[in-house]
C-alpha cells in the first residue's frame, strides 16, 4: 500500500482510498495520523510566483543583517543553499520557546500600556509599583536572553532546514537536539486549519508531512487558502534544482551560490544583488501586481476544490514576477549598498528577545 500511496500522492493526485488508509499504525503521533488523511495540495504551480507578504519583511531583514544572523544560527553551512524556516510548534521545546517569546512581548506591551490605563483610572499611587514589577520581569527575561540562552542555543534545533543541493529536509526530533534528514520528494503538503480562539476565524495552511513518518513542517496564515498555495510553491521552487530560484528578496542571498540560478541571471542580464539595491518603494508595485492576480482567484471556490480533490485554477502571472529588475526604476550602484540596522531597529531589537 505504501508504494501505491507514494505513486499517487507524490504526483499530487487525490487518491482518497490510499490517503485514508495509509500508515495508521506506522506513525507515532496521533496528530500526524490525522493530518495524513487531510486533502493534498497539488504539486506544481498555481499562482506561478512565490511573492507573498513576507517579502516586505525579508527585504528589511536583508538590509538590517537580521537574515544573515538567522542563517548563521539556523543553517549548518556558512555559504550554501539551505533555507531554514520556523514551523508551528511541533515539540515541547518549541512550545516553551514560543511561550517565552509571547510572555516577553506581553511584558513589553504592559510596560507601555499600564501607565496610560492607570492614568485613565486615576490609580496613580499603585501605577509606579506595577510598572516596576513588570519592568523587573522583562529585565530578567532580557538578561536570560543575553547571558544564559547563548550558552546552549547552538544545541537546540528550532527550525526546519531545506537543502536545495541535496534535496533533503532536516526536521528537529522530539527533543530538538538533532535533525532527522529525509528526501523532500517524500513529503506531502496536507491541508491544515486551526482556529483563533479569540476571533473564531480559521487560519489555513498546510502540514508538510513525511508520507510514513511523523516528521513535519507546519505553517498557517489567515483564512485565505491562497497564502498556503504561494508558500507551498515557494518550497517547491527552492527544492527544484532544474529551475532558477524565484526572484524574491528572501532568495537574493542564495542566487550566486546556486548554479542554475547564476546561469539564468547571467543569461538574462539580471543586476547582481538586485534586492539589496532596489528602492523599497518597488515592493509596492510587486504587491499591487499580486493583488491584481488574486482577483482572478476565487479563494472560497478553490478551497472547495482542494477539499473535494478537484483541479485548482492555475494562474498566469505577469513578467514582473520573473524579471522584476526590468520594471524597477531606482536601482543603486553596488558600491552604494548599505547593510546595518537603523537606530530605531537597534532599539526595537534590544527590547525583544533574540532567538
Query: How far apart, in whole angstroms, are the C-alpha atoms of residue 101 and residue 149?
Result: 13
pLDDT in tens, 113-135: 877 777 776 766 777 777 888 89
> Does the CA dihedral 265-270-276-279 come out positive or negative?
negative
Query: How far apart, in whole angstroms, are the C-alpha atoms of residue 5 and residue 8?
Result: 5
Q: What is the pLDDT of residue 285?
A: 95
Q: What is the pLDDT of residue 58?
A: 95
- Cell numbers describing residue 28: 507515532
> What stretches in the chain show pLDDT beneath 70?
1-26, 78, 121, 123-124, 197-200
Q: 123 Cβ partners below 8 Å, 6+ apart?
A: none
pLDDT in tens, 239-293: 999 999 999 999 999 999 999 999 999 999 999 999 999 999 999 999 999 999 9
Q: What is the pLDDT of residue 133?
A: 87
Query: How far apart, in whole angstroms, are the C-alpha atoms of residue 180 and residue 128?
Result: 50
Q: What is the pLDDT of residue 81?
A: 92
Instruction: Annotate 221-269 with DSSP letters as a single string.
Output: -SS-THHHHHHHHHHHHHH-TTSPPPSSGGGGGGGGG-HHHHHHHHHHT
Query: How far apart, in whole angstroms, are the C-alpha atoms of residue 191 and residue 229?
Result: 10
Residue 340's region, left for phi above 0, alpha for psi from -120 to 50, else beta, is: left
Q: What is the pLDDT of residue 223?
A: 85
Q: What is the pTM of this model?
A: 0.87
Amino acid at each position: 500500500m505504501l508504494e501505491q500511496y507514494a505513486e499517487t500522492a507524490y504526483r499530487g493526485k487525490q487518491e482518497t482510498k490510499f490517503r485514508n488508509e495509509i500508515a495508521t499504525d506506522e506513525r507515532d503521533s496521533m496528530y500526524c495520523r490525522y493530518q495524513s488523511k487531510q486533502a493534498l495540495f497539488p504539486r506544481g504551480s498555481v499562482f506561478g510566483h512565490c511573492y507573498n507578504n513576507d517579502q516586505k519583511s525579508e527585504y528589511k531583514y536583508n538590509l538590517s543583517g537580521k537574515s544573515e544572523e538567522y542563517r548563521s544560527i539556523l543553517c549548518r553551512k556558512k555559504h550554501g543553499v539551505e533555507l531554514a524556516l520556523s514551523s508551528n510548534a511541533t515539540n515541547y521545546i518549541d512550545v516553551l520557546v514560543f511561550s517565552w517569546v509571547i510572555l516577553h512581548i506581553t511584558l513589553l506591551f504592559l510596560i507601555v500600556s499600564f501607565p496610560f490605563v492607570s492614568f485613565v483610572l486615576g490609580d496613580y499611587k499603585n501605577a509606579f509599583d506595577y510598572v516596576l514589577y513588570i519592568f523587573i520581569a522583562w529585565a530578567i527575561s532580557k538578561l536570560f536572553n543575553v547571558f544564559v540562552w547563548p550558552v546552549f542555543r547552538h544545541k537546540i534545533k528550532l527550525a526546519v532546514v531545506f537543502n536545495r543541493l541535496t534535496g533533503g529536509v532536516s526536521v528537529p526530533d522530539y527533543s530538538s537536539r538533532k535533525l532527522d534528514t529525509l528526501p523532500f520528494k517524500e513529503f506531502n503538503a496536507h491541508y491544515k486549519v486551526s482556529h483563533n480562539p479569540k476571533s473564531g476565524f480559521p487560519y489555513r495552511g498546510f502540514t508538510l508531512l513525511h508520507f510514513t513518518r511523523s516528521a513535519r513542517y507546519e505553517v498557517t496564515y489567515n483564512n485565505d487558502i491562497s497564502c498556503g498555495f504561494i508558500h507551498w510553491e515557494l518550497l517547491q521552487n527552492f527544492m527544484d534544482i532544474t529551475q532558477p530560484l524565484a526572484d524574491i528578496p528572501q532568495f537574493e542571498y542564495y542566487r550566486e551560490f546556486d548554479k542554475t540560478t547564476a546561469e539564468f541571471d547571467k543569461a538574462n542580464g539580471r543586476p547582481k544583488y538586485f534586492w539589496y539595491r532596489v528602492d523599497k518603494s518597488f515592493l509596492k508595485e510587486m504587491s499591487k501586481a499580486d493583488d491584481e492576480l488574486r482577483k482572478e482567484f476565487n479563494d472560497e471556490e478553490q478551497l472547495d476544490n482542494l477539499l473535494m480533490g478537484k483541479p485548482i485554477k492555475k494562474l498566469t502571472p505577469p513578467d514582473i514576477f520573473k524579471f522584476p529588475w526590468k520594471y524597477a526604476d531606482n536601482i543603486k550602484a553596488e558600491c552604494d549598498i548599505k547593510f546595518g540596522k537603523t537606530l530605531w531597529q537597534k532599539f526595537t531589537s534590544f527590547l525583544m528577545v533574540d532567538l
